[in-house]
Amino acid sequence: MHRRHLLCLLPVVVAYGSQKVQNTPSTPQVDLGYAQYQGSRLAIGVDQYLGMRFAAPPLGDLRFRAPQDPLP
């Protein structure tokens, strides 16, 4: 019975994982002040942004302090 459930879920997992990525001009851009990022709109209507830098690594004097803008 357990195997039957897994076989029923297989097409759903395959269909979700194979969504096409559309790069269209209407895809939103994000300006964080230190960098601009262009996202990708998935066929399921979700925007994704990959490789975003959020803060400088908390090393040395930056440890236990407020986050700083990421290094260029």
**In the block, which residue shows the tokens 């925007």?**
47
Q: N- to C-terminal Cα distance for the chain? A: 54
DSSP result, 2-70:
HHHHHHHHHHHHHHHHTPPEE--TTS-EEE-SS-EEE-EEETTS-EE--S---S----GGGTTS---PP
Mean pLDDT for the chain overall: 79
Share of residues in the chain with pLDDT > 90 (%): 28
In this predicted structure, what is the pLDDT of residue 5? 65
The DSSP output letter for 61 is: G
Regarding pTM above 0.85, the answer is: no
The reported pLDDT for the residue numbered 58 is 93
Question: pLDDT tens digits for 28-53?
Answer: 899 988 889 999 988 898 899 999 88
